Amino acid sequence: MTPGEALRHPNWDMGGKITIDSATLMNKGLEVIEAHWLFDIGFDRIEVVVHPQSIIHSLVEFIDGSFLGQLGAPDMRLPIQYALSYPERWEASGERLDLLKLGALSFEPPRMADFPCLSYAYEAGRRGGSLPCAMNAANEVAVAAFLRGDIGFTDIPAVIRSVMDEIPFEASPDLDALLRHDELARGAAAVRVAARSAVRQGGEAAA
Rounded Cα gap, residues 207 and 17, in angstroms? 30
Rounded Cα gap, residues 190 and 168, in angstroms? 17
Answer for the pair 88, 74: CB distance below 8 angstroms, yes or no: no
CATH 1.10.1740.10 in the chain: give the residue spans.
Answer: 3-46+111-206
Q: What does the pLDDT look like over 138-158, one tens digit per residue?
A: 999 999 999 999 999 999 999
Rounded Cα gap, residues 158 and 139, in angstroms? 10
Judge if pTM exceeds 0.85.
yes
In CATH, which of 3.30.70.2190, 1.10.1740.10, 1.10.10.10, 1.10.3720.10 is domain 3-46+111-206? 1.10.1740.10
At 2 the pLDDT is 82
- Residues in the chain predicted with pLDDT less than 70, given as ranges, are 9-14, 203-207
Q: What does the pLDDT look like over 24-37, one tens digit per residue?
A: 999 999 999 999 99
Assign residue 12 a region: left if phi > 0, alpha if psi is -120 to 50, beta otherwise? beta
At 75 the pLDDT is 85
Which 3 state secondary structure label does DSSP give 67?
A: strand
